[in-house]
Amino acid sequence: MSLRRIMLFSRFERFWHWTQVLLIMTLLFTGFGIHGFHDLLDFKTQVSLHTAGALGLLVLWVFAIFWHLTTGTWRHYVPTTNGLLKVARFYVYGIFKGERHPYRKAYWRKHNPLQALSYLALKLILFPAIWISGLIYLFYPVWGGAASGETLLWVAMIHTAVAFAILMFIIIHVYLLTTGESFKDHVMPMINGFDEVELTKEEEAYLEKDEPQNIR
Amino acid sequence: MRSIVVAFLTASLIMAANVQAEQKTDVDMNFRLDKIVEQPTQRSDSNSTADHSKFEDLKVEFTSGPEVTKACLKCHTEAGHQFMKNIHWTWTYENEKTGQLLGKKHLVNTFCTNSRGNEGMCAQCHAGYGWKDESFDFSNQNNVDCVVCHDRTGTYYKAPSTTGNKACSIMFEGKQSIDLTKVAQNVGLPARENCGGCHFYGGGGDGVKHGDLDSSLIHPDKKLDVHMDEAGLNFACTQCHITNKHVWTGSRYDVIAKDTEGTGKPGQRRDVATCESCHGLQPHPVNSLANIKLNNHVDRVACQTCHIPTIARGGIATKTDWDWRTAGKTKDGEGYKEHNYTQGNGVHRATYKSIKGDFKYGENLVPHYGWFDGQMIYTTIDTVFDPSSGPIKVNRYTGSADDENSRLWPFKQMHTFQPYDKGNNTLVYMHLWGDDEDAYWGNYDFGKAIKIGMEKNNLPYSGEYDFVETYSYWPITHMVAPKEDALACAECHAKEGRLQGLQGFYLPGRDSFHWLDIIGLLAVGLMFFGVFWHGFIRFVTHKARKQS
């Protein structure tokens, strides 16, 4: 076993991540604007941006889902209880004692168990909740005629509640970037794709032989 | 010096003459003032194949209206009987859905209250000759007034069919006589001033009743009405209110609040005056997300709601409040007027008249909004109401957010205090017009005017009257602004927007779950709080470790 810098976040994954950042930020900003929390843009612009952003994000997600399935990357998100408590204990206690993070990234397991579980929840619960409620909201004219005037209220409520939850995720997600050696160390992998990973001999040998550009 | 004196005297004489003319022509009651139609508007769509001045039958000296009509009917053989089915002739409308008997002949309104019994004055706006009382012959087609609608000289007008009390009749003195032969030889399709001669003056004066119909629409610019714009499309009324055998579309007694048919099949729809019948069901060009969203509004929001941002925009005010309770005050035994409102075009409007009471006006008014399915329910003369249950809606629109056939519509809301029968709890007919001792206009006695008004129509009257607060609602559909002046989204999609008072539906930007917002913001706040303290403790413990 040796610690090596390898290409962990491929070009598409980084594109997906940062486009998603841009779109989600736009959606949160315009969404809360439409909701009435601010009027920094006029309503028409907010609605147009929100709709365009949402449709863009849906297209991106279609590609991302396809990518997860075809590349097998979905395996990074399979939940496990193995080491989960250790990581949780680290964040509520060990981190203050200066302990080392208990998790080592592996070639086929780049997220720690807590991280994997929260990303999985984000992808399987919050994201579907926001896009399903969003599409129902967007296509209100298709079903709204026959529905009671109050129905939209419930759709809007779910959509808003999930938006709050996603905002909370973002806060903790960004905060956790500060918990490593440095903020930069945590961000760089998502920029140049390279991160330190504990490789088995076989993995290391494979990468050095077949994908030398992906290992430093 | 002498010339100066002469000039001064001449000027004084001219001024005196002007003052006199002003007194005679009351702007609050000026049905077709001559000056308004000095220049008849041109219809842009006229393609007549006949020149009526060349017809031998019209080259005669006409001495009365019915003679002209007889001449018209010689060629237009069916026009008389066709027109006699028209509400402009019958003044009666039976609503098949509600069974209510409506029309000017029957209704009580929130302005001069009733034309019934006051035909001597009110039937000036009846498209017939000589209706002054119950004896009028509705079956005689020679009584139809063709030229009031078809005159294209701009010189034809109608005067009251009976002489009222001198307190009122003075207003109609000194008018130019009409050259009926010239009028008959210059007939054509009606233009705005023809219809407007009555419809612009409903409620007893310019712009009084509707708010979206007043004499500013005779020569409007694009800002005032994008369709009637004289320098542009220059629409006449009948270009939307299309006709079929002298019966035309677009009655407010039977409103199509939601047209789901649109432009229909090739050829022109002849059955509706809706916006959709020309603009279709997807009226905004599908070239942006915002426009697609606007098209998505069509099912719940009437075109008029966004495209008529305000009413009474043409410099002419509309009446918003009328208080009959103060009517009847006199000075030295004579009725009087106060003109304390100056409207946009500079004309002073009466704020008090002894014959009518106190008024308030509005211009550039934001309409009242409500869910409307096209149905109006009227408080008719025989409707018993409970005056203690709050203001009476003399007409009430029906519809709701839950009904997919209802749309949000703009209305002009009229607020009035008017007499009612205190014993029977009904509205009353008043005997207003007449050269007798009982007519209110001249004698200022509500008791007598109501007693006679009810008696004349064999209606029960308890003998006791009081005043009741009423509202009436007038659907708004004219004064369509250019698209750049249409309402911005945030006019409604905002916490304190135009639809603030309407409940029963979720309006993005206006509505939210208050507790959800509080929980959501609290949770986000706690998250910030949590990461802040987590970070702070990390910082402190890290420092402590470094020191040790």
Residue A43 at interface with chain B, using a CB cutoff of 8 Å: yes
Q: Is the pLDDT of residue B1 over 50?
A: no
For chain A, what are the domain ranges? Answer: 2-214
Assigned domain for B529 exists: yes
B497: closest chain A residue by CA: A36
A34/chain B closest Cα distance in angstroms: 5
Please report the pLDDT score of residue B15 as a whole number. 44
Q: Which of A9-23, A136-150, B83-97, B370-384 has the lowest mean pLDDT?
A: A136-150
Assigned domain for B32 exists: no
B406: closest chain A residue by CA: A145
Q: Which of A54-58, B33-37, B254-258 has the lowest mean pLDDT?
A: B33-37
In tens, the pLDDT along B328-359 reads 999 998 899 999 999 999 999 999 999 999 99
A47: which chain B residues are within 8 Å (Cβ-Cβ)? 289-290, 293, 489
Assigned domain for B534 exists: yes
Q: Is the pLDDT of residue B35 over 60?
A: no
Asked if the Cβ–Cβ distance from A42 to B490 is below 8 Å, we say yes
In tens, the pLDDT along B462-497 reads 999 999 999 999 999 999 999 999 999 999 999 999
For B349, the token pair is 């409007």
Q: What is the mean pLDDT of residues B495-515?
A: 92
For A13, the token pair is 């994954």
Assigned domain for B285 exists: no
* Distance linking the first and last C-alpha atoms of chain A: 15
Asked if the Cβ–Cβ distance from B527 to A34 is below 8 Å, we say no
Amino acid sitting at position B288: S
Q: Which of A9-18, A29-38, A164-173, B167-176 has the lowest mean pLDDT?
A: B167-176
Q: Write the ipTM.
A: 0.91
B503/chain A closest Cα distance in angstroms: 9
B220/chain A closest Cα distance in angstroms: 30
Instruction: Give the DSSP letter string of chain A.
Output: -EEEEEE-S-HHHHHHHHHHHHHHHHHHHHHHHHHTS--SS-HHHHHHHHHHHHHHHHHHHHHHHHHHHHH-GGGGG----TTHHHHHHIIIIIHHHTPPPS---BTTB-S-HHHHHHHHHIIIIIHHHHHHHHHHHHTHHHHTTTS-TTHHHHHHHHHHHHHHHHHHHHHHHHHHGGGSS-HHHHHTHHHH-EEEEEE-HHHHHHHHHH-GGGB-
Q: What is the mean pLDDT of residues B397-416?
A: 95
A98: closest chain B residue by CA: B542
Answer with the residue of higher pLDDT: B242 or B526: B526
Confidence grade of residue B254 (pLDDT, cut at 50, 70, 90)? confident
Confidence grade of residue B41 (pLDDT, cut at 50, 70, 90)? confident
Asked if the Cβ–Cβ distance from B538 to A179 is below 8 Å, we say yes
For B164, the token pair is 């009222």
B531: which chain A residues are within 8 Å (Cβ-Cβ)? 171-172, 175
Q: Is the pLDDT of residue B38 over 50?
A: yes
Which stretches within B85-218 are classed as H helix? 87-90, 119-122, 147-150, 166-169, 180-185, 192-199
Calpha distance B293→B284 (Å, rounded): 9
Please report the pLDDT score of residue B246 as a whole number. 94
Please report the pLDDT score of residue B21 as a whole number. 40
Residue A157 at interface with chain B, using a CB cutoff of 8 Å: yes
Residue A51 at interface with chain B, using a CB cutoff of 8 Å: yes
Please report the pLDDT score of residue B37 as a whole number. 60
C-beta neighbour count of B541 within 10 angstroms: 14
Which stretches within B52-146 are classed as H helix? 65-75, 79-83, 87-90, 119-122
Range of the domain at B518: 514-548
Amino acid sitting at position B355: I
- Interface size, chain A vs chain B, as Cβ–Cβ contacts under 8 Å: 105
Calpha distance A43→A34 (Å, rounded): 6
Calpha distance A21→A74 (Å, rounded): 20
- Among residues B254, B191, B241, B238, which one has the least CA distance to residue B217? B191
Q: Which of A193-202, B24-33, B198-207, B410-419 has the lowest mean pLDDT?
A: B24-33
Q: Which of A64-68, A170-174, B155-159 has the lowest mean pLDDT?
A: B155-159
**B448 contacts B502 by C-beta, under 8 angstroms:** no
A138/chain B closest Cα distance in angstroms: 9
How many domains is chain B built from? 1
Assigned domain for B544 exists: yes
Q: Which of B75-89, B257-271, B353-367 has the lowest mean pLDDT?
A: B257-271
Confidence grade of residue A214 (pLDDT, cut at 50, 70, 90)? very high
Q: For testing the chain B interface, which of A58, A90, A96 should be mutated: the one with the most B CBs within 10 Å?
A: A96
**B120 contacts B164 by C-beta, under 8 angstroms:** yes
Q: What is the mean pLDDT of residues B39-54?
A: 82
Please report the pLDDT score of residue B7 as a whole number. 53
Q: Which of residues 376-415 of B touch A (CB under 8 A)?
A: 400-402, 404
Calpha distance B360→B341 (Å, rounded): 8
Assigned domain for B476 exists: no
Q: What is the mean pLDDT of residues A121-125?
A: 95
Can you name the CATH fold of A2-214?
A: Fumarate Reductase Cytochrome B subunit (1.20.950)
Residue B500 at interface with chain A, using a CB cutoff of 8 Å: no
Assigned domain for B546 exists: yes
Nearest to A149 among B290, B504, B509 (CB): B504
Assigned domain for B523 exists: yes
Residue A212 at interface with chain B, using a CB cutoff of 8 Å: no
Please report the pLDDT score of residue B191 as a whole number. 93
Please report the pLDDT score of residue A132 as a whole number. 97
